[in-house]
């Protein structure tokens, strides 16, 4: 008689029957069949024990007891599981599972870009300043050396909210550029200053892939005893390298702005073409004077960059309108 084989077979069958039991009735059936005292598989096994030669009895008996204990333990464990109160479907909490992360919202790609811009500029020593989006003509034009007859002041090219009248002392408009914050900063603070200001600007442009009537700019201003064009080029070059990568080629082209002299346009190379990312220059002495600074004692540079353009360039976004349409399939990619 091969005791070992009968033992193994018994244990295997018993554990399977207990394992598959899904109700108290099935488990009771398994108990009767495998652990019943009067009859059943255990009883059969026990009767076999009687035929074991005396010298082998202690070993085979021990083996029998071990197996019986294991099957009994498995049965008791299963009984506890089946008795455990059933929870409502879906409410089971398995604390051993790894945390299931909720899909959190994300920052808008432009917000991410703005944060990164401020961060880069902070590392270059530029503090962040804010200015209002509703402006007067002094801050949006006059102090910036933009004369009354300048085309930029055409009411059709601006969002005027009110005109000067006996009721309104001053005309109000949505700012058309963040250069307003240069003026506000210099009016409030003594030199030296080193600031950036990020925000929305508004122009009644025809909306297309590269234009919107509302967009974001970053204005930069640095004024001190010996700020030069070399300082400007260095800062813009470092900025472009930090955001677009060390090797990005940059170019400065002569240009004109009423508030800077000399003025440049700032381009970055993309593939085979140069992309214009903003304007810059040395702050015009008239602007310094308008803010109460002495143009003989200090000089400064300023720049204004289109934020969306940088973000579009880095991510290969082909249309500025994507930023303002709140299309989740677009936003979720950032
Ligand atoms: N304000 C200009 C614009 O909206 C950009 C600009 C050019 C800002 C030159 C500056 C600057 O500060 O120096 O197009």
Answer yes or no: are the C-beta atoms of 34 and 40 closer than 8 Å. yes
Alpha-helix residue ranges (DSSP H) falling in the chain:
3-20, 24-35, 41-49, 57-83, 109-123, 137-140, 180-188, 229-244, 285-290, 307-315, 328-331
pLDDT in tens, 145-188: 999 999 999 999 999 999 888 777 889 999 999 999 999 999 99
- Residue 217 CA to ligand 1 center (angstroms) comes to 9
277 lines ligand 1 (CB under 6 A): no
pLDDT in tens, 264-317: 999 999 889 999 999 999 999 999 999 999 999 999 999 999 999 999 999 999
Q: Prior bond to 328 cis, omega within 30?
A: no
Residues 6+ apart with CB under 8 A from 274: 251, 267, 268
pTM, 2 dp: 0.70
For the ranges 74-83, 97-106, 213-222, the lowest mean pLDDT is seen at 97-106
> Which atom, in ligand 1's list, is nearest to the CA of 201?
4
Chain-centre distance for alpha carbon 111: 9
Enumerate the β-bridge partners of residue 194.
222
280 lines ligand 1 (CB under 6 A): yes
- Residue 304 CA to ligand 1 center (angstroms) comes to 4
Q: Ligand 1 atom 10: the closest Cα is on which residue?
A: 303
- Residue 277 CA to ligand 1 center (angstroms) comes to 11
Q: What is residue 86's DSSP assignment?
A: P
> Which atom, in ligand 1's list, is nearest to the CA of 279?
7
- Residue 196 CA to ligand 1 center (angstroms) comes to 12
Burial of 273 (0-12, 13-18, 19+ CB in 10 A): exposed
Chain-centre distance for alpha carbon 301: 32
302 lines ligand 1 (CB under 6 A): yes
């Amino acid at each position: 008689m091969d005791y070992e084989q009968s033992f193994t077979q018994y244990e295997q069958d018993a554990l399977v029957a207990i394992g598959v039991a899904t109700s108290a009735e099935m488990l009771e059936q398994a108990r009767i069949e495998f652990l019943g005292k009067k009859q059943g598989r255990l009883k059969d096994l026990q009767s076999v024990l009687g035929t074991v030669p005396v010298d082998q009895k202690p070993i085979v008996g021990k083996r029998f007891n071990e197996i019986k204990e294991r099957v009994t333990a498995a049965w008791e464990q299963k009984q506890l599981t089946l008795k455990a109160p059933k929870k409502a479907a879906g409410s089971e909490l398995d604390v051993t599972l790894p945390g299931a992360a909720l899909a959190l919202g994300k920052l808008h790609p432009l917000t991410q870009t703005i944060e990164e811009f401020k961060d880069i500029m902070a590392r270059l020593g530029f503090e962040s300043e804010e200015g209002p989006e509703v402006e007067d003509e002094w801050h949006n034009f006059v102090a910036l050396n933009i004369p009354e007859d300048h085309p930029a002041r055409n009411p059709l090219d601006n969002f005027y909210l009110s005109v000067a009248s006996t009721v309104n002392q001053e005309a109000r408009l949505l700012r058309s550029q963040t250069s307003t914050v240069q003026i506000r900063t210099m009016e409030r603070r003594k030199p030296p200053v080193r600031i950036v200001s990020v925000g929305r600007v508004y122009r009644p442009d025809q909306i297309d892939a590269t234009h919107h009537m509302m967009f974001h700019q970053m204005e930069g201003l640095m004024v001190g005893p010996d700020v030069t064009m070399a300082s400007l080029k260095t800062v813009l070059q470092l900025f472009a390298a930090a955001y677009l990568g060390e090797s990005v080629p940059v170019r400065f082209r002569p240009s004109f702005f009423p508030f800077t002299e000399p003025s440049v346009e700032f381009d970055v190379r993309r593939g085979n073409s140069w992309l214009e990312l903003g304007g810059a220059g040395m702050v015009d002495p008239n602007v310094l004077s308008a803010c109460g600074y002495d143009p003989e004692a200090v000089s400064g540079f300023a720049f204004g960059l289109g934020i969306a353009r940088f973000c579009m360039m880095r991510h290969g976004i082909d249309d500025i309108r994507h930023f303002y349409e709140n299309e989740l399939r677009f936003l979720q990619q950032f």
